[in-house]
Amino acid sequence: MKRLFVVVMLLAVRPSGRLTAQTDSRLVEALRLAQSGQVDSARGIVRRLLAILPPGDSAYPQALLAAAKIAPDAPTVALYLNRIVVEYGAGPWADDALLLLTQLYFAQHDPTQTVQAAERLNRDYPDSPLRARANFSAGRAYFELKNETRGCELIQQALDGSGDDVEFRNQLTFYASRCSPPSSTPPPPPDTGAKTTPAPPAGPHAYAVQVLAVKSAAQVDEMLTRLKVMGFDARVLRDSTGFFKVRVGRYATREEAQRAQLRLKQKVGGQPFVVDEP
């Protein structure tokens, strides 16, 4: 149990465990205290918040998430996370809870519950940027369950959604190597003399969501870190007037970008908006 608690704590407070995912300053402070070893003080802050906040307050599910991250044992972690999924499934923190459940069950060597949590994340939150991380755990769990086909599918999906995280991509590539390579390209059909018109290349047009436009590099670094910790594929552009523009994603349709805009509005705040990218 002690070893498992250490694993859960590492998932909760390391950057890969999304320490800065919370937006409430009281909860950010509680997690900072936990990271510095003052776990009892951190739990006290969260416990008091859960006691005084009404369940309908937007900070309440965030407090449950923080409570899960610093809980003393795995059953309590799972209890808080499942409350978020069940009671706040339509809110912005349910996919966070499902990701942590996936990682928790995988750390407990429970492949069945691992894949159940990840598949629910895939099914209920198809636009979540956290799917790649959940699918990494679920793909390995499927390998343990002797379902190589689905395991390889999820590893490939995770690879496709891994963004520019080189370390994560290297881990995924290692596991992808056990999957069967794609079949070789079939030979071209015999030349019958008929002329064909090649299909036009796909247009490069795409859409992104702009989150910030400032001249302060410090603000840009802070927002980039925050977005990447939350799982968003963020980058920065600089225009001719000297403004740094922080943007997320390259989406094929405006509808996809608008769904990402809504999620960014919920989790980051501000006034994100959809922009065309040539």
| Per-residue confidence band for 155, with pLDDT thresholds at 50, 70 and 90 | very high
Query: Exposed, middle or buried, 164 (CB in 10 Å: 0-12/13-18/19+)?
Result: exposed
* CATH number given to 2-176: 1.25.40.10
pLDDT per residue over 90-149, tens digit each?
A: 988 999 999 999 999 998 899 999 999 999 999 999 989 899 999 999 999 999 999 999
Domain ranges of the chain: 2-176, 206-277
For domain 206-277, say whether CATH 3.30.70.1070 is its number.
yes
CB atoms within 10 A of CB 207: 20
pLDDT tier for residue 19 given thresholds of 50, 70 and 90: very low
pLDDT of residue 13: 38
Q: Where are the beta strands (DSSP E) in 108-168?
A: none
Q: What global pTM score does this model have?
A: 0.70
